[in-house]
Amino acid sequence: MSFDPQNIVIIGASGAIGSAFTKRLSEQYPNASLYAFCRNGKYHIDYSSEDSIAAAAVYASKEKPLDLVIVANGILHDADIMPEKSLRELSAEKFHRIFEVNTITPALIAKHFLPKLNRHKPSIFAALSARVGSISDNRLGGWYAYRASKSALNMIIKNASIEIGRRNKHAIIVGIHPGTVDSNLSKPFQANVPAAKLFTPKYSANKLLDVLENLTPEQTGKCFAWDGEEILP
């Protein structure tokens, strides 16, 4: 696929991977419009407000359709939440928070941004997912809320690819797995990660963009890792 995006959106641009995406894309496509949305940046978005998400979609597409949208936000833990090791650690509060960020917000972003994709040439909507969201690949258990939230995100991606594909044959809607990236999200879990498997945000973003730029509409609805491997449901 010859991919030359003229209108690019990064959502979650202040995070480690989001920043790396923004830098690489601004360098690779200097003549493209690039909207790097985050809570406190030049292009503001409030993830807790659907009106704000809708307004961002209208703003970014007001002059031309969208060629590339990357949703780079997500949560694994925060000051009050850590991944569960057993059923004893489950709580409704954890599930609500993890699903809000990892599943509901990307779904609402898809709701408003997918209709703005370019219909005249290949266009891409990619959301950060995770290998641990694969049910068939789950051999360790644990991390209940996070795993479930990413599995649910993958289903939303599949559903959206079917619906949007009926009226936009050029759309490519996928999940992307960045590997283990040296970021705040992975800090508490890096001890057992081999050095060769702990990626810088720049490396991960570059590898994922290489993958995205070589996808075709026939691959819509799937999830791909940083090395191009398809992650099975």
- Give the CA angle between residues 93, 154, 134 to the nearest 5°: 85
Torsion of CA 155, 200, 20, 58, to 10 degrees: 20
What residue spans of the chain are helical by DSSP H? 16-28, 50-60, 92-99, 105-113, 144-165, 201-212
Q: What is the mean pLDDT of residues 12-38?
A: 96
pLDDT tens figures, 154-206: 999 999 999 999 999 999 999 999 988 876 665 555 556 655 677 899 999 99
The size of the chain, in residues, is 233
Mean pLDDT, the chain, rounded, equals 92
> Can you give the pLDDT at residue 180?
85
pLDDT tens figures, 47-56: 999 999 999 9
Residues 223 and 129: beta-carbon distance below 8 Å: yes
Q: Is the pLDDT of residue 218 over 60?
A: yes
> Can you give the pLDDT at residue 205?
95
What residue spans of 44-143 are helical by DSSP H? 50-60, 92-99, 105-113
Please give the model's pTM, rounded to 2 decimal places: 0.93
> Can you give the pLDDT at residue 233?
85
Sequence-ordered list of residues with C-beta below 8 angstroms from that of 185, at least 6 positions apart, any chain: 16, 74, 75, 76, 77
- Looking at the chain, the whole-number percentage of residues with pLDDT higher than 70 is 94
d(CA 38, CA 187): 22
Sequence-ordered list of residues with C-beta below 8 angstroms from that of 184, at least 6 positions apart, any chain: 16
d(CA 115, CA 32): 20
* More confident site: 110 or 137: 110
Would you give the DSSP letter of residue 6?
Answer: S
> Can you give the pLDDT at residue 78?
82
Q: Which of the four pLDDT bands, split at 50, 70 and 90, describes residue 80?
A: confident
The structural domains of the chain, ordered by start, are 7-188+201-225 (3.40.50.720)
